[in-house]
Each structure stands twice: as C-alpha cells, then as structure tokens.
Chains A and B, each alone.
Chain A
Amino acid sequence: MRMEIHEQACRGCRMCVEICPTKVLTFDEEACLAKVGKVEDCIACLSCTYLCPSGAIHQEDYPRVKNFYRDLEFCGRMEKFL
C-alpha cells in the first residue's frame, strides 16, 4: 500500500500520530508536521484518514472492506440466515 501526507494541508495536530495503533506515523518536531514512517506496518484501519481534520492523509492500494448488503456474493451466502 501507499500512504502520503499532504504537507501543506497538515496542521500538525498530531491526532493521526496518536490514533495509529501500529505507530506508522511519526511527528517531525522541527517542521511541526506528521510524517509517514514504517508504511509496511500499516493495517489500513483508516482511522488516521477519517480523523484528520484537514483531510491531508491519502492511502492507495489497500484492502477495502466490502459492503455486505451491497455485495452479491455476501448476500448469497447470507441467504440461509434470512
């Protein structure tokens, strides 16, 4: 997966750094900006992306959760419970 933080959008609030469960994001004290560290540790929970007040975090090529009730295969598999 790929992950980027838009430097001009980041306000340095550190919320993304604090929420990340696998410590992928670090904080550059000098520039007062969040930085992407070990991207290989990212589990793509997307908490940082949802939390960022300025929408500065962008991820690509990550496993997206499928929407159960809109997915044909899932609907088919759920049939026996309905």
Chain B
Amino acid sequence: MDTLTEERATLQETMSFLGAISSGIEDAVGESAGSITYVAGKDLGKRFAQQAKRTDDLEEALAVVRAVLAENQCLWQFETFQPSDRESLVRSTEEGEEILLVFRDCMIRQALFLYGHHQKGSLCNMMFGFFAGAVETIMGRKSSLEVLHAGENACLKRLLIHR
C-alpha cells in the first residue's frame, strides 16, 4: 500500500471513529451529550483564537475566524449568506446582531454520512461550540451558532452576537 492510500485509509477510519463517537455518546450520556460537546468545542475555539486579532466588526471577525481555522489546518469552509429579501448582510435584532452562514466542506457531515448517522448531533454541537468560542474571543461578546438547516451538500446556520 502506498503512502497516499494509507493516509486515505487512516482518514477514512478516523471519520468512521468520529461517526461512532457521535452516535455512541448520545446513547451513553443522554441528553447532556450535546451540552458537553458544545462546551468542549467552545473551549477549543477560545484556545485557538487566543492570539487572533480582536475586532468589534462582525464581518472582520469572520475573516479572522477563517484565518484561525486555516492556520490550525481546520477544513471547515463557510461563507456569508444574504437572502435576496434582506437589505443587509448583518441584521440587528432584539437579541443582538445576526448573520447567516453557509457551511459547505465539513468533515463532520461527511463522517456522519459515511455510516448513516444523523446530523445536528453531538459532533455538530462541538463544531458550533468551536465557532462560537472563537468569535466570542475575537469580539469579546457572547455568541451562539444555531443550525437552521442541515443539508446533504451544505448547512445553513445563524450566528448571533448577543448584546
């Protein structure tokens, strides 16, 4: 087996392992699995973004998060989404500033699909926590990421920066 084939096989095994953890932790721990993985992801996000540039601007913060992900070899590409009936990318609500994000390449999604596990589970929560933790560190404000839709080729999420 050549090196590349070995790497592919190892990566595939890692993905199946991730999928199994995701599916197993919910059975083992119960309803709190989501919160546990969310907090774990948030801590990681905060740690990764510790040295990142601080900013108050949401769009700039997203660019910093993108850079943080790239620096840490995290393959989690996202882009902002502005529906045609929305006047601006960032919307101000009672809760805070909100922006819609589309996530395309996601290792978690692929790991889940590979063995037929469902989306929006504990592994997804870990990644949302990671994102929220990174944004929170960069902007210095509480943030949360909510899944509006988990699709086969892309997921739509709402990032809220609380007041």
Residues of A within 8 A of B (CB): 21-22, 38, 40-41, 43-47, 49-50, 62-70, 72, 74-82
Complexed CA–CA distance, A49 and B152 (Å): 9
Residue contact B153 to A64, C-beta cutoff 8 Å:
yes
Residue contact B110 to A68, C-beta cutoff 8 Å:
yes
The yes or no answer to B21 lying at the interface (CB within 8 A) is no
Interface of chain A, helix or strand or loop or mixed?
helix
Complexed CA–CA distance, A19 and B76 (Å): 24
How close is A38's CB to chain B, nearest CB, in angstroms? Answer: 5
Q: How many A-B residue pairs have CB under 8 A?
A: 82
Pick the interface stretch among B2-10, B35-43, B57-65, B132-140.
Answer: B2-10
Across the interface, B11 reaches (CB within 8 A) one of A49, A50, A75, namely A75
Residue contact A43 to B107, C-beta cutoff 8 Å:
no
Interface residues on B, range: 20 to 34
Complexed CA–CA distance, A74 and B107 (Å): 10
Residue contact A45 to B153, C-beta cutoff 8 Å:
yes
Residues of B within 8 A of A (CB): 4, 7-8, 10-12, 14-15, 73, 75, 81, 83-84, 102, 104-107, 109-110, 148-149, 151-156
Residue contact B151 to A78, C-beta cutoff 8 Å:
no
Complexed CA–CA distance, A74 and B14 (Å): 14
CB contacts (< 8 Å) of B10 on chain A: these are: 82
Given A67-B110, A68-B107, A77-B75 contact (CB < 8 Å): yes
**Which B residue sits closest to A73, measured CB to CB?**
B75
Residue contact A69 to B151, C-beta cutoff 8 Å:
no
Complexed CA–CA distance, A46 and B105 (Å): 14
CB contacts (< 8 Å) of B81 on chain A: these are: 22, 43
Residue contact A45 to B154, C-beta cutoff 8 Å:
yes
Since A47-B152, A75-B11 are in contact, a sample of 16 more A-B pairs with Cβ atoms closer than 8 Å, ordered by chain A residue number, is A22-B83, A43-B151, A44-B154, A45-B149, A45-B155, A46-B151, A47-B151, A49-B152, A63-B104, A64-B153, A65-B153, A69-B110, A74-B11, A75-B8, A78-B73, A81-B73
